[in-house]
Amino acid sequence: MEMEKDLNTVKESPKLLGMFTSPGLQFERIKQNPKIWVPLIIISIIYAIGMTLMALSMDAETLVGSELPEDQAEIILVVTKVIFAITGIFAPIITILISSAIHLIIAKIANSAVSFKQLFSMNTYIMIIGAVGLIINMAVRYVIGGSSEIYITSLAGFLNLDKAGVLSSVEVFGIWGVILTALGLHKTAQFSKGLAWTIAIAFFLIGMGFGLVGTLFQGAPKL
């Protein structure tokens, strides 16, 4: 009887909402029973909605300035909104694919037996945190206005800065994702805690580096 109970536990599928309440348990389930397609579709839909809200919060003047005639600016704005919605569908898939490939390379070096499917499933479930963060931030921006590039849950948003910069990378849902990545690599991929945290923090710092490069290209203040 006890053996049957254990087998049922092993076969139990991970749950997206469980990533908010019991992530450790979900990572154990992902290790035993990795799921991809349904959570990936759900996350892609959420991202598409979030990116659409981001596009809706834009206006023609903010996007292209006042140099172009109004009719041309409106056309560009419409095209941009469509591109944003499409990007929302494919961006999480590409991000998960790249992250999982890098994690698999590290796993091979570290002699971990984790499979690509397990890593892909793990990163898919972790992505729900960023998806919810995107929806919340873009919904608020759509209502109150302001730059959609700056999350209200970021340090830049807290300081009410006008332009995105490095401080916009220091964000609640982003840090939450770093913590879950470290936990997932330890629980699902069986990495040591030290290696798991090193990889998670390294990914976070690389993201901040891209934010700094973007700031410099935009001519924004170095923060």
Query: Is residue 148 in a domain?
Result: yes
Residue 199, token pair as written in the block: 């990889």
Query: Is residue 58 in a domain?
Result: yes
Could you tell me the pTM of the whole model? 0.88
Higher pLDDT, 109 or 70: 109
Query: Is residue 16 in a domain?
Result: yes
List the domain range (segments joined by +) for residue 78: 2-218
Query: Is residue 18 in a domain?
Result: yes
Question: Domain tally for the chain?
Answer: 1
Residue 63, token pair as written in the block: 């996007």
Query: Is residue 108 in a domain?
Result: yes
Q: Is the pLDDT of residue 128 over 60?
A: yes
User: Where does residue 44 rank: exposed (0-12), middle (13-18), buried (19+ CB within 10 A)?
Assistant: buried
Query: Is residue 223 in a domain?
Result: no
Out of 52-56, 103-107, 132-136, least confident range = 52-56
Query: Is residue 181 in a domain?
Result: yes
Residue pLDDT, tens place only, 22-34: 999 999 999 999 9
Cβ atoms of 96 and 170 closer than 8 Å: no
User: Whole-angstrom Cα distance, residue 208 to residue 133?
Assistant: 17
Closest CA to 22 of 184, 162, 135: 184
Q: What average pLDDT does this structure show over 151-158?
A: 91
Residue pLDDT, tens place only, 193-214: 999 999 999 999 998 887 676 6
Residue 160, token pair as written in the block: 């009410």
Residue pLDDT, tens place only, 163-180: 777 788 899 999 999 999
Query: Is residue 95 in a domain?
Result: yes
